[in-house]
């Protein structure tokens, strides 16, 4: 009772702007938190226990006061959040310190916060933790979940696990903070978009034991799970495990990010590492690491005016591995300045300085395994300075590479090495009259239907000096064209990697399309028919268990599992679609069990299957959980009745190892043989009539997931 009166007095006085004193020490374990609902000024001579902010539109000025956790000792055992808020906005928090907590500041579901001149150092910290390849619960200095249009300025968070985490948090500004010396990451973005990260100290994101070869999976900056269109400007990102790691561990890539004038040098492994396409690196420093830029599965990348020097020095950092899960590492790439170890279509490397690396200055290569599944495809290499490396440029299993104006000399073993099957390599002649590159512009669709003409137009491409332009198209199906406009009919459904290169006689520029072609057959349930879909949640299963003496088609499928915690919304999406004017969009909050989608919910389609050999559809899957999806999926079942059906199961994991890296978080073509084949196992007997079908997906975790289905049909 006495504590409650004290808290009430605190709020009343604070609302009047009165300095408040609440004891000489942190609150004892189990005491209720101090709840703040009005403007408050803390007493710098005192320390406080846990604080919860309950109201929007308030200002809390700590004046240097400390919010101290009640548990002392090992930081990895710290509990709770020192300062927390949920569902409140327009809060100013300044001049406060919080230590001894699992998290210094945790805010969820808010907007327009200003956090300034605060110190969240010495909270949860675990430098002895090993490899995790997953995620501990979000913890450390600052954690923002679903927070937007807010500013973090001139704060500190040192000696913590993650200094600052932005989770599902968009359009925030993070500037002039010291988030250095973290045991996992200095800054983590997870499904966080359009944020501005400027002039921060994000150095020493490092977790390593003395003598250890790798820095486990620590990094200064981790960008993950659809964190798109962020800007990183003028940050200190040095001395990390990795400097910047744009990871796609769950298959959800992060694109549209621009990184300019950041220094990520002295990384134990890679100064910049990316497994995601469509990012721009301009004017950065990536020196004295194991690799400068290690970009695997990073199509549509732009690298301009960066430094990538003195990497892989045997007397310095040379720890990053040579192995890559798509292909054997080329023996003459070494610890490179810039290296693309995997698919790298539609990439520009221009004006970079690669000097003194203990491997190649620039290395790009495709699949050197006997299967040769992909090449380094459609590149521009211009005006790069490549001197004093072990090898200059290394190209292996590469196709359609335009080179001009590169200075490549003084490299110890070779200035240029071309290995494997390298085709369409163009070394443009010197022409001092031409000093600038043209600008390629591609206008046209990104999807079509089999057999219908489309037009891709490059005629809006320009040259800054008015030089005449020449064009080269590769439409991905073996068609090469040289006109400004490309009219074409695709003859088969699937994905096509379309590229355009525009040249002015010396320099070049490129444009591209991820082009998807749908079957020319009537859509089944995916054109304005979302109301005819239903969903069920089922237990996991591994095939049909058929009792002795029964046929598989006589065994009813597993019954749905009622779970009030799960929910699914199904609707027509007229913004994200591939064919027609809409797709079927699903947003689900699952319990972890499989989600089974069912069409039509009347179970009375009455479609004859005579003469039909395949079910086709396109799907797009996004799940922010660290592991995203489990098992082989999707599993498709065609029903005549509950006792007469065929179940079709995939036999390989095309979801985790797609044929096209562009499919990872975009539309993927599914063509499923009704009788099964070497890739699809048929269990049961194909019925004569399709009355309804189900499609099953297997998500990890309870995070909301999104999926789309379009262009479904029978052919």
Cβ atoms < 10 Å from Cβ of 153: 18
Per DSSP, what are the bridge partners of residue 107?
Answer: 85, 144
Q: Which residues contact 30 (CB under 8 A, 6 or more apart)?
A: none
Predicted local confidence at residue 711, as pLDDT: 96
Give yes or no for residue 536 having a pLDDT over 90: no
User: Encoding tokens for residue 653?
Assistant: 């994991």
Between residues 34 and 368, the one the model is more confident about: 34
Cα separation, 202 vs 624, whole angstroms: 24
Predicted local confidence at residue 249, as pLDDT: 85
404 close to 340: Cβ distance less than 8 angstroms: no
Pick the CATH number of 447-518 from 1.10.110.30, 2.60.40.10, 1.10.287.3510, 3.60.15.10: 2.60.40.10
* Length of the chain as a residue count: 715
Rg, the chain, Cα only: 28
pLDDT, mean of residues 378-400: 95
Cα separation, 127 vs 160, whole angstroms: 9
368 close to 337: Cβ distance less than 8 angstroms: no
Predicted local confidence at residue 26, as pLDDT: 45
Cα separation, 174 vs 177, whole angstroms: 7
Q: Which of 257, 245, 299, 246 is nearest to 281 (CA)?
A: 257
Predicted local confidence at residue 211, as pLDDT: 76
498 close to 473: Cβ distance less than 8 angstroms: yes
455 close to 483: Cβ distance less than 8 angstroms: no
Q: How confident is the model at residue 676 (pLDDT cuts 50, 70, 90)?
A: very high
Predicted local confidence at residue 270, as pLDDT: 94
Give yes or no for residue 435 having a pLDDT over 50: yes
DSSP state of 136: P
Give yes or no for residue 566 having a pLDDT over 70: no
Give yes or no for residue 542 having a pLDDT over 50: no
| Alpha-carbon dihedral 639, 640, 643, 644, rounded to 10 degrees | -90
**Percent with pLDDT over 70 in the chain:** 88
For 223-254, the pLDDT digits (tens) are 999 999 999 999 999 999 999 999 998 889 99
Q: Which of 423, 484, 693, 483 is nearest to 584 (CA)?
A: 693
Q: How confident is the model at residue 589 (pLDDT cuts 50, 70, 90)?
A: confident
For 160-186, the pLDDT digits (tens) are 999 999 999 999 999 999 999 999 999
Give yes or no for residue 554 having a pLDDT over 80: no
Give yes or no for residue 15 having a pLDDT over 50: no
Q: How confident is the model at residue 332 (pLDDT cuts 50, 70, 90)?
A: low
Q: Please provide the average confidence, as pLDDT, over all residues in the chain.
A: 88
Q: How confident is the model at residue 311 (pLDDT cuts 50, 70, 90)?
A: very high
Give yes or no for residue 327 having a pLDDT over 50: no
Give yes or no for residue 157 having a pLDDT over 50: yes
71 close to 122: Cβ distance less than 8 angstroms: no
Q: Which of 331, 352, 356, 326 is nearest to 341 (CA)?
A: 326
User: Encoding tokens for residue 432?
Assistant: 């001092």
Cα separation, 392 vs 407, whole angstroms: 10
Q: Which of 200, 198, 219 is nearest to 208 (CA)?
A: 219
Cα separation, 442 vs 5, whole angstroms: 69
Predicted local confidence at residue 251, as pLDDT: 87
Q: Which parts of 130-274 are beta strand (E)?
A: 140-148, 151-153, 160-167, 173-175, 182-190, 196-198, 219-224, 231-233, 242-246, 258-260, 270-274
Between residues 20 and 539, the one the model is more confident about: 539
Predicted local confidence at residue 331, as pLDDT: 57
Predicted local confidence at residue 269, as pLDDT: 92
Cα separation, 118 vs 178, whole angstroms: 10
Predicted local confidence at residue 309, as pLDDT: 97
pLDDT, mean of residues 322-337: 59
3-state helix, strand, coil in the chain (%, to 5): 5, 40, 55
Q: How confident is the model at residue 5 (pLDDT cuts 50, 70, 90)?
A: very low
Q: Vertex 692, ends 688 and 695: CA angle to 5°?
A: 115
Predicted local confidence at residue 564, as pLDDT: 56
Give yes or no for residue 111 having a pLDDT over 90: yes
- Residue 425, classed as helix, strand or coil, is strand
- Residue 396, classed as helix, strand or coil, is strand
pLDDT, mean of residues 207-211: 83
pLDDT, mean of residues 346-354: 98
CB burial class (10 A; 0-12, 13-18, 19+) of residue 143?
buried
Predicted local confidence at residue 295, as pLDDT: 93
Predicted local confidence at residue 69, as pLDDT: 94
DSSP state of 528: S
User: Encoding tokens for residue 473?
Assistant: 């198209």
Q: Which of 556, 569, 632 is nearest to 597 (CA)?
A: 569
**Percent with pLDDT over 90 in the chain:** 72
Predicted local confidence at residue 374, as pLDDT: 85
Q: How confident is the model at residue 330 (pLDDT cuts 50, 70, 90)?
A: low
Cβ atoms < 10 Å from Cβ of 25: 12
Top-level CATH class of 530-714? mainly beta
DSSP state of 541: -
Between residues 421 and 434, the one the model is more confident about: 434
Predicted local confidence at residue 546, as pLDDT: 38
Between residues 233 and 643, the one the model is more confident about: 233
Predicted local confidence at residue 18, as pLDDT: 38
Domain ranges of the chain: 447-518, 530-714
Residue with tokens 């080329």: 330
329 close to 312: Cβ distance less than 8 angstroms: no
For 395-433, the pLDDT digits (tens) are 988 999 999 999 999 999 999 988 878 899 999 988 889
Give yes or no for residue 73 having a pLDDT over 70: yes
Q: Which of 97-111, 437-451, 552-566 has the lowest mean pLDDT?
A: 552-566
Give yes or no for residue 552 having a pLDDT over 50: no
Predicted local confidence at residue 646, as pLDDT: 95
Q: Which of 322-336, 342-356, 630-644, 674-688 has the lowest mean pLDDT?
A: 322-336
């Amino acid at each position: 009772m006495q504590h409650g009166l004290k808290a009430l007095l605190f709020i009343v006085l604070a609302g009047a702007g009165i300095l408040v004193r609440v004891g000489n020490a942190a609150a004892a374990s189990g005491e209720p938190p101090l709840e703040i609902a009005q403007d408050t000024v803390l007493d710098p001579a005192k320390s406080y226990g846990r604080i919860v902010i309950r109201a929007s539109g308030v200002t809390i000025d700590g004046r240097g006061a400390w919010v101290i956790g009640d548990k002392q000792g090992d930081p990895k055992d710290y509990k709770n959040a020192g300062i927390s808020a949920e569902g409140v906005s327009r809060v100013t928090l300044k001049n406060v310190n919080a230590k001894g907590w699992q998290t210094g500041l945790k805010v969820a579901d808010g907007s327009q916060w200003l956090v300034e001149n605060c110190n969240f150092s010495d909270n949860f910290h675990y430098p002895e933790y090993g490899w995790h390849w997953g995620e501990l619960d979000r913890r450390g200095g600052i954690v923002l979940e679903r927070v937007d249009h807010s500013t973090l300025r001139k704060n500190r968070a040192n000696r913590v696990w993650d200094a600052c985490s932005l989770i599902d948090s968009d359009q925030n500004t993070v500037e002039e903070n010291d988030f250095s010396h973290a045991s996992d990451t200095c800054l983590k973005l997870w499904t966080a978009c359009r944020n501005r990260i400027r002039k921060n100290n994000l150095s020493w994101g490092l977790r390593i034991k003395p003598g250890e070869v790798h820095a486990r999976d620590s990094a200064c900056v981790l960008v993950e799970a659809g964190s798109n269109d962020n800007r990183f400007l003028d940050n200190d990102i040095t001395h990390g495990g990795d400097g910047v790691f744009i990871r796609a561990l769950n298959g959800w890539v992060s694109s549209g990010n621009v990184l300019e004038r950041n220094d990520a040098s002295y990384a134990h492994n890679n100064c910049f590492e990316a497994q995601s396409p469509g990012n721009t690196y301009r004017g950065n420093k990536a020196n004295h690491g194991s690799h400068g830029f290690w970009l695997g599965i990073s199509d549509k990348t732009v690298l301009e005016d960066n430094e990538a020097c003195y990497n892989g020095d045997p007397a310095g950092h040379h720890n990053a591995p040579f192995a890559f899960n798509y292909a054997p590492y080329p023996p003459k790439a070494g610890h490179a300045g810039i290296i693309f170890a995997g698919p790298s279509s539609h990439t520009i490397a221009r004006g970079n300085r690669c000097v003194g690396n203990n491997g190649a200055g620039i290395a790009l290569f495709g699949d050197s395994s006997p299967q040769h599944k992909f090449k380094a495809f459609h590149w521009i290499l211009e005006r790069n300075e490549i001197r004093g490396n072990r090898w200059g440029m290394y190209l292996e299993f590469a196709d359609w590479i335009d080179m001009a104006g590169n200075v490549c000399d003084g490299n110890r073993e070779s200035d240029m090495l071309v290995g494997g099957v390298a085709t369409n390599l163009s070394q443009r002649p010197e022409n001092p009259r031409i000093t600038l590159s043209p600008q390629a512009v591609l206008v046209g669709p990104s999807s079509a239907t089999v057999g219908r003409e489309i037009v891709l137009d490059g005629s809006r491409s320009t040259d800054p000096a008015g030089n005449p332009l020449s064009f080269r198209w590769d439409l991905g199906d073996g068609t090469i064209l040289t006109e400004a406009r490309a009219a074409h009919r695709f003859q088969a459904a699937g994905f096509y990697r379309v590229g355009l290169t525009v040249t002015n006689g010396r320099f070049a520029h490129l444009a591209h399309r991820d082009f998807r072609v749908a079957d020319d057959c009537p859509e089944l349930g995916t054109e304005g028919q979302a109301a005819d879909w239903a969903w069920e949640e089922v237990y996991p299963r591994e095939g049909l268990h058929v009792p002795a003496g029964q046929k598989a088609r006589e065994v009813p499928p597993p019954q749905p599992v009622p779970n009030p915690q799960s929910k699914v919304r199904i609707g027509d999406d007229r913004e994200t679609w591939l064919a027609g004017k809409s797709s079927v969009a699903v947003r689900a909050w699952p319990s972890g069990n499989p989600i089974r989608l069912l069409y039509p919910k009347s179970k009375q389609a009455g479609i004859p299957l005579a003469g039909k050999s395949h079910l086709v559809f396109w799907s797009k899957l996004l799940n922010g959980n660290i592991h995203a999806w489990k098992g082989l999926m999707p599993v498709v079942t065609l029903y005549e009745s509950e006792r007469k059906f065929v179940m079709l199961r995939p036999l390989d994991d095309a979801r985790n190892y797609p044929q096209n890296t562009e499919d990872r978080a975009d539309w993927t073509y599914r063509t499923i043989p009704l009788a099964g084949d070497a890739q699809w196992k048929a269990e049961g007997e194909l019925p004569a009539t399709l009355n309804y079908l189900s499609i099953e997906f297997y998500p990890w975790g309870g995070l909301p997931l999104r999926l789309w289905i379009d262009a479904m049909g029978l052919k």
